[in-house]
Amino acid sequence: MVQDERIKRLNDKPFRPGRYVMYWMQAAQRVDYNHALEFAVGLANEKKLPVVVCFGLTGDYPGANLRHYYFMLEGLSELPEALAKRGVQIVVRKGRPERVAVDMAKDAAALIVDDGYLSHQRKWRSQVAKQSDCGVFEVFTNLIVPVGTASAKQEFAARTFRPRIHRQLDKFLFELKKKKAKKDSLGLKFDGLDITDTDNILAGLNIDDSIDPSPIFHGGTSKAKKLLKDFTDNKLDDFADKRNDPNAGCLSNMSPYLHFGQISPLYIALAVSRCQSTGKEAYLEELIVRRELSHNFVYYNDNYDSPAGLEKWSLKTLEEHKNDKRQYVYSRDELEKAATHDEYWNAAQKEMTFTGKMHGYMRMYWGKKILEWSEDIETAYANAIYLNDKYELDGRDPNGYTGIAWCFGKHDRAWTERPVFGKVRYMNAAGLKRKFDIDAYVQRIEKLKKQ
């Protein structure tokens, strides 16, 4: 069942005669636990129509490069076979996603789209709703609790958000059953790309190929489920105590798959909830409260990717210390090349540029030091977003923007005042040494790069 709270009408156009019900897949690139797909199939079955999934593949997706495209295409290549088992055809066309959706909606009785939270994603949905002659529905499937149901406003911190979202969990935290299309769309003829031919598709897209695909992480729902099973079987017990130790290897590594919608947060939460493990509460706090708080921030704050989105207290204290002397100041190029005096920071930057994913605790240290080593807050913020979005597989994401904002005081409290940071929380190398063997981390990253 898809709850009413998950469904949002984007226009007032009626259901009309058409060849099919169309699901414009955009941010939920999966078949399992996809409320948008289930809503489309249910509606189509009711109207005795087939379901067609469309996907627009553009070479200039904001901030994306070869690393991101390769991971995404690895995931998309799994979809034709998985959808065919449900009686559903996927049509992938080259072009801007919103234009592909409008074009294919010309023959649709209704158009369904999944939930996107970044400014360009919301703009695309608005444009499609205005330009389509059929009813357009957005279905919230990339969060466990729909963002507007969890809270009607921007939350100050996890402590204010946590009770609100916990009150909703009984209503939304349950399995989503699959429906098969009663009338299949497999025989319908469309022009489109062979999404399983990854290399040929990449060759036809004019994308930034300066960043290699990750040698560590590979895309797809099947890969995500395999990693998740390994996590619940072998790592979850250690998560609560060792998640901040980058040497412990006890993270789930779900964030790239969540970013591309290749796995559902609901699927993950249910899998973890079924475990008899001391680590599950700590993990569910990260997956549900912290992750969905980041979407709350992006949804309710139009300035999520700039200092203007910060709290007044943190902006004020950083402004008061803007003229403080910095012991080190590094350019974007020096940061990108990991050419600082700090070997711990350099190792974190190298981990990100090589693998496509930096350990979460090191990413906090990484962001704090960019603030400390930049000539002003605007430069620091821009450089952190540039590097995170360029190299991280889970960059260009509400979690990423919120994580950067946290480094500048978002969702945090005032601490002891000090130079440069003011009352914003400070981190230093001594803190890393107290928590874990930071030198072992540096050695592991150097060894990884040489393999």
CA 195 from centroid of its chain's CA atoms: 22
pLDDT at 451 over 90: no
Tell me the Ramachandran region of residue 301: left when phi exceeds 0, alpha when psi lies from -120 to 50, beta otherwise: beta
Which CATH number describes the domain made up of 1-142?
Answer: 3.40.50.620
Least confidently predicted of 59-63, 98-102, 180-184, 282-286: 59-63
- What pLDDT does 110 receive? 98
- Tens of pLDDT, residues 289-319: 999 999 999 999 999 999 999 999 999 999 9
21 and 135 Cβ atoms separated by less than 8 Å: no
Residues of CATH 1.25.40.80 domain(s) within the chain?
143-178+220-300
Residue 259: band (very low, low, confident or very high) from pLDDT cuts 50, 70, 90: very high
- Tens of pLDDT, residues 167-178: 999 999 999 999
- Tens of pLDDT, residues 420-439: 999 999 999 999 999 999 99
CA 27 from centroid of its chain's CA atoms: 9
Backbone φ, ψ for residue 19 (5° rounding): -80, -25
- Tens of pLDDT, residues 9-54: 999 999 999 999 999 999 999 999 999 999 999 999 999 999 999 9
265 and 286 Cβ atoms separated by less than 8 Å: no
pLDDT at 1 over 90: no
Neighbours of 167 (CB within 10 A): 12
- Tens of pLDDT, residues 365-395: 999 999 999 999 999 999 999 999 999 999 9
- Tens of pLDDT, residues 205-249: 989 999 999 999 999 999 999 999 999 999 999 999 999 999 999
Query: What is d(CA 423, CA 425) in angstroms, rounded to the nearest whole number?
Result: 6
Q: Name which of 62, 56, 1 is nearest 29 in CA terms.
A: 56
Tell me the Ramachandran region of residue 338: left when phi exceeds 0, alpha when psi lies from -120 to 50, beta otherwise: left
Least confidently predicted of 311-320, 398-407, 440-449: 440-449
Residues of CATH 1.10.579.10 domain(s) within the chain?
307-450
How open is the CA angle 384-124-411, to the nearest 5 degrees?
35
CATH superfamily of the 307-450 domain:
DNA Cyclobutane Dipyrimidine Photolyase, subunit A, domain 3 (1.10.579.10)
Q: Tell me the three-class secondary structure of the chain, residue by residue.
A: CCCHHHEEECCCCCCCCCCEEEEECCCCCCCCCCHHHHHHHHHHHHHCCCEEEEEEECCCCCCCCHHHHHHHHHHHCCHHHHHHCCCCEEEEEECCHHHHHHHHHHHEEEEEEECCCCHHHHHHHHHHHHHCCCEEEEECCCCCCCHHHHCCCCCCCHHHHHHHHHCCHHHHCCCCCCCCCCCCCCCCCCCCCCCCCHHHHHHCCCCCCCCCCCCCCCCCHHHHHHHHHHHHHHCHHHHHHHCCCCCCCCCCCCHHHHHCCCCCHHHHHHHHHCCCCCCHHHHHHHHHHHHHHHHHHHHHCCCCCCHHHCCHHHHHHHHHCCCCCCCCCCCHHHHHCCCCCCHHHHHHHHHHHHHCCCCHHHHHHHHHHHHHCCCCHHHHHHHHHHHHHHHCCCCCCHHHHHHHHHHCCCCCCCCCCECCCECCCCCCHHHHHHHCCHHHHHHHHHHHHHC
CA within 13 Å, CB half, 408 = 30
- What pLDDT does 284 receive? 98
Residue 448: band (very low, low, confident or very high) from pLDDT cuts 50, 70, 90: confident
Backbone φ, ψ for residue 2 (5° rounding): -100, 115
* 143-178+220-300 CATH choice from 1.25.40.80, 2.60.120.10, 2.60.120.920, 3.40.720.10: 1.25.40.80
Strands 89-94 and 7-9: unpaired
281 and 237 Cβ atoms separated by less than 8 Å: no
Query: What is d(CA 254, CA 130) in angstroms, rounded to the nearest whole number?
Result: 35
219 and 108 Cβ atoms separated by less than 8 Å: no
- What pLDDT does 53 receive? 98
Residues of CATH 3.40.50.620 domain(s) within the chain?
1-142
pLDDT at 449 over 80: no
